Structure 1
Amino acid sequence: MSDLLIKNISQYINLSQEDFKQFVKPFEYKNFKKKEIVLKEGEYCLFEGFVLNGCFKIYYLNENGFEQTLYFAVEGWWITDIDSLINNVPSILNIEALEDSEVLMISKKDKEHLYETLPQIEKLFRIMNQKSSVALQRRILSLTGKTADKRYLEFLEKYPGLEQRLTQQQVASYLGITHEFLSKIRKKISF
């Protein structure tokens, strides 16, 4: 399996080689082509995925039909609709590959089995969920309390080098602004 996954989980827990083998066993390796939809609004999310290579956008369509990007998932990030996965409700999110990508996927059932057989895995995902909650809180505060200029600078800091992999429209969708306004911000900041 992937050294990237080992590095990722080693930030939070220590696993023996034997336990790590047991942990990765239920993961399924998947390739996604650029523009391929991994999850579509209305479907039930039955997985969590660890991004080995590539880039995804996780977004929804607002009441006006415009895309609002919640986050981008690049190498070392996880993709899912946690609400749909946990509560068994139709997803309101879409997950789309922005590049040809490679992901390790695990089902909810297999993850639950890991919780029972490897108690450290429950700790791992608890810590990751806590960190995700903090990130979501910061994202909400940024969207509701900061200027577009500051949100753009935060984006550059949070996702170093990602701007070159995205279209201006995708960055603008994440920031909650038009791509025209993003152009103005870029010009202003570059001076």
Structure 2
Amino acid sequence: MYELLRKNIEYKIPLTNSEWKTIIEKTEFIKLKKNEFLQIQDSSSKYEGFILKGSFKIYILKEDGAESVLFFAFENDWLSDIESFYHQKPAKYNIKALEDSDILVINKANKTFLYQQVPKLIQFHTLMVERTNIAMQERLLDVLNKTSKQRYADFIKKYPHKSHKINNKNLSSYLGVSHEFLSKIKKKFI
């Protein structure tokens, strides 16, 4: 089961069996049920997580109580509020399981230990941060420059086998449209 994590890391940097053993010893396996939180907005982010199985939504709660979904995450994705995790600031968003999920998590102390014991993980982390920044930049540009229909088409194209896991409420929040308008958009794709 942990092989998914090893493949994810080794896609960017090679690991020896000894380094892999050290990594596994410092991670913790947790199960989250549907609707359980890995992180709650305004709390302290204790973990960085890697999804072995399941799906999550990353969202903020607005002052009026409405959700604004920023991202979805699926198997083989990483989850973290980087600023909260590394600088002990309140989390800016919620991370909630959309289905029963299995994840590997690591706390800051163990991650710091791994950087000392397996220094090439710093390079891996840098690559992860670059990828996250690119994804955030693309999301911002999509919201600013694309229609909701274009964003829906991109979402279906990017997640053809996972989009069924996202209900209309979450998808309409992600796209920034009403449920009714999402229904109209979906009809055009049938």
**Partner residue in 1 for 2:185:** 185
What TM-score comes out, normalization by structure 1 length?
0.95
Please give the secondary structure, in 1, of the residue aligned with 2:14: coil
**Partner residue in 2 for 1:156:** 156
Tell me which amino acid in the other structure corresponds to 2:74: V
Please give the secondary structure, in 1, of the residue aligned with 2:18: helix
**Partner residue in 1 for 2:25:** 25
**Partner residue in 1 for 2:46:** 46
Tell me which amino acid in the other structure corresponds to 1:84: S
Tell me which amino acid in the other structure corresponds to 1:73: A
Q: Percent identity?
A: 39
**For residues 68-90 of structure 1, what are the alpha-carbon distances to aligned partners after superposition, in whole Å with 9 as ceiling and x for unaligned?**
11111111011111121122111
Tell me which amino acid in the other structure corresponds to 1:81: D
Tell me which amino acid in the other structure corresponds to 2:43: E
Structure 1: runs of 5+ lacking an equivalent? none
**Partner residue in 2 for 1:59:** 59
For 1:159 and 1:80, how far apart are their aligned partners in 2?
Answer: 21
**Partner residue in 2 for 1:92:** 92
Matched, 1:115 2:115: yes
For 1:155 and 1:29, how far apart are their aligned partners in 2?
Answer: 29
For 2:8 and 2:157, how far apart are their aligned partners in 1?
Answer: 20
**Runs ≥4 in structure 1, deviation > 3 angstroms?**
none
For 1:65 and 1:145, how far apart are their aligned partners in 2?
Answer: 26
Quote the offset at 1:65 in angstroms.
Answer: 2.5
For 1:133 and 1:37, how far apart are their aligned partners in 2?
Answer: 23
Structure 2: runs of 5+ lacking an equivalent? none
Tell me which amino acid in the other structure corresponds to 1:25: E
What TM-score comes out, normalization by structure 2 length?
0.95
Tell me which amino acid in the other structure corresponds to 1:50: F
Matches within 5 A, 1:136-175: 136-175=136-175
For 2:178 and 2:13, how far apart are their aligned partners in 1?
Answer: 41
Please give the secondary structure, in 1, of the residue aligned with 2:189: helix
Q: What's the C-alpha RMSD, in Å, of the aligned pairs?
A: 1.2
Tell me which amino acid in the other structure corresponds to 2:76: G
Quote the offset at 1:150 in angstroms.
Answer: 0.7
Quote the offset at 1:10 in angstroms.
Answer: 1.2
Aligned length: 190
Please give the secondary structure, in 2, of the residue aligned with 1:105: strand
For 1:157 and 1:11, how far apart are their aligned partners in 2?
Answer: 23
Tell me which amino acid in the other structure corresponds to 2:78: W
Quote the offset at 1:9 in angstroms.
Answer: 0.8
For 1:44 and 1:21, how far apart are their aligned partners in 2?
Answer: 28
Matched, 1:12 2:48: no
